[in-house]
């Protein structure tokens, strides 16, 4: 298995689909239980260092927000 470090992804690798798993939230737990999946959020990386996602609204988010241990 090859590990991919999000901070090392270049523009040549993009766009990229990214799957995330929030391991502490109740709503994410319900999504995983309903879908019987191993992740609970999908987003796109279209620029190095940023994800575009639809949480409450469509927005661009710095990847550091997703690298804090919760996902």
pLDDT digits (tens, 9 = 90+) for 4-58: 788 889 999 999 998 877 667 766 667 677 777 666 678 899 999 999 988 778 9
Q: What is the pLDDT of residue 48?
A: 94
| Residue 52: predicted pLDDT | 93
pLDDT(69) > 70: no
CA distance to 41, 57, 62, per residue, from 20 (Å): 5, 17, 14
pLDDT at residue 27, as a whole number: 67
- Greater confidence (56 vs 60) lies with 60
Of 58, 46, 59, 51, the C-alpha closest to 20 is 51
């Amino acid at each position: 298995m090859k590990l991919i470090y999000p901070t090392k992804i270049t523009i040549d690798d993009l766009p990229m689909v990214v799957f995330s798993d929030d391991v502490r939230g109740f709503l994410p737990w319900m999504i995983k239980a309903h879908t019987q999946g191993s992740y609970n959020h999908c987003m796109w990386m279209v620029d190095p260092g940023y994800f575009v996602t639809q949480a409450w609204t469509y927005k661009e988010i710095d990847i550091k927000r997703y690298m804090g241990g919760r996902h």
